[in-house]
Amino acid sequence: MKILYLECNMGVAGDMLMAALYELLSPAGQSSFLATMNQLFPGVEVRPRQAVTCGITGTHMDVTVRGEPEHSHDVALSHHQDAVHAPVHEMSHDEAHHGHEHGHAHSHHHTTMADVTAIVDALALPLEVRAAASAVYGRIAQAESKAHGVPVEQVHFHEVGALDAVTDVTGVCLAIHMLRPDRISASPIHLGSGQVRCAHGVMPVPAPATARLLEGVPCYTGDIRGELCTPTGAALVSQFAGAFGPMPVMTLEKTGYGVGAKEFPAANCVRAFLGEVGDPQQAEIVELCCHIDDMTAEALAFAGEQLLDQGALDVSSIPLTMKKGRAGIAFTVLCRPRDEERLAQAMLRQTSTNGVRSRCCRKYILSPSIRTVDTAYGPVRLKCASGEGVYREKPEYEDVAAAARRAGLPFQQVWEDVLTTTKEDRYE
């Protein structure tokens, strides 16, 4: 099982998280990631550069909008009539800017949640990535709505900042999509401490929206002054992390460092660990299912073979009665979580169904193994399974069938003779 673990000992911000995940990609994956990100918005460019924090080398993601670098006004809230200006960009753990007092003249058009959703939906990205990005923005809007006591429809995003922020959010969602971890977990989140000055006053750390986003998430303050966890960072981690705590025991494959812009006494970075968990007793599995009433048995069998060739773990079909008394088939595919979207699309192509249902399940499994025994018919392989106090084995069909053909005997007779031999072999 592939595990992604996010270490947030110095908080988390969208650009830092994107940079850490970028480092986990293969060189070809990194090239594909940058090519995709740099065609999303006219005038928006994403460039990774090497950065160092406390002697540790990592990556910092530079995001420019029409040649201007991203600005740190993630916590700069502004009340205009009944609208709340939601945090629109990452602090990058940089100095707290005073609202828009950074010397750049931005047009102050306002983008609603509906506008952001429309922008994301139009992006040339996989459906899974667009859905995740919209969900992250939905979390931010809901948090702002609760923090400031206004309807979600009155939460607005600054237009220029929204481009920066959407780039960070979609970048994280795309990188996770490309990595395809089976499970994501994170450490408790370091929030920082003190206060930050915003456009209309001084706010405590964490900012109200950030605190709302982190409800139910383990987090803590410390001696480091400043906002370490931004609203966008909080939304991303709470969206993707299924659990919080120490890093699980795993075989580490790769580590990524996403470096922030400001210097602190501690290393200013988000670390991302990618590894494998080798617990054979438990696993997550996805069940894809559809109902079909207009395919022949041969066509459906062909579809099953194609899906198995494409990585499905198992394919099954069960007769059922559909509406108006029509005879149909419940067609089910089991797959790994990382293969869900790809195999769901394959089911739509290979079968006549108009929709596929998906359900994630916890699977308890026995550890498989193979052993060979000598029989009167020659060597025969046994498929073994053990764990949870259970042990079972059975002869390999192809070996028994081949032995039966050579001996000119019925399959069942050879099968029973092999089983008798395996029992004697086990108890010698």
341, 364, 387 - which closes a domain: 364
Burial of 105 (0-12, 13-18, 19+ CB in 10 A): exposed
pLDDT at 71: 52
Q: How confident is the model at residue 70 (pLDDT cuts 50, 70, 90)?
A: low
pLDDT at 152: 67
Residues 291 and 203 grouped into a single domain? no
Are residues 141 and 228 located together in one domain of the fold? Answer: yes
* pLDDT higher than 70, residue 206: yes
Measured from the Cβ of residue 198, the count of other Cβ atoms closer than 10 Å reads 21
What residues form DSSP beta bridges with 132?
A: none
- Whether residue 317 has pLDDT greater than 80: yes
Both 331 and 382 in one domain: the answer is no
pLDDT tens digits, residue range 319-343? 999 988 989 999 999 998 888 999 9
Instruction: Please give the Cα distance from 89 to 165 (Å, whole number).
Output: 5
Number of domains making up the chain:
3
Q: State the DSSP H helix or E strand holding residue 356, giving kind and residue range, or none if neither.
A: none
Question: Do 318 and 209 sit in the same domain of this protein?
Answer: no
Residues 43 and 164 in one domain: yes
With tokens 């008394």, the residue in question is: 325
Mean pLDDT of the chain: 83
pLDDT of residue 25: 95
The answer to whether 11 and 228 have CB atoms below 8 angstroms apart is yes
Same domain, 341 and 403: no
Question: Which residue, of 249, 276, 303, is where some domain finishes?
Answer: 276
- Residue among 387, 368, 183, 369 at smallest CA distance from 286: 183
> Same domain, yes or no, for 397 and 358?
no
- For residues 26 and 166, membership in a common domain is answered with yes
Are 130 and 30 within one domain?
yes
Rounded Cα gap, residues 79 and 95, in angstroms: 22
Which phi and psi angles does 246 have, rounded to 5°?
-65, 160
CA 23 to chain centre: 16
Q: In whole angstroms, give the CA distance from residue 276 to residue 3.
A: 6
Based on the domain organization, do 19 and 60 belong to the same domain?
yes
Lookup: tokens for 208? 């109200």
Mean pLDDT for 112-116 is 80
Residue 200 and residue 344 share a domain: no
Please report the pLDDT score of residue 196 as a whole number: 75
The residue range of the domain holding 311 is 282-364
Question: Is residue 162 very low, low, confident or very high in pLDDT (cuts 50, 70, 90)?
Answer: low
Domain closes at, from 276, 304, 329: 276
Same-domain check for residues 12 and 146: yes
Contacts of 131 (CB under 8 A, 6+ apart): none
What is the average pLDDT across 374-395?
A: 85
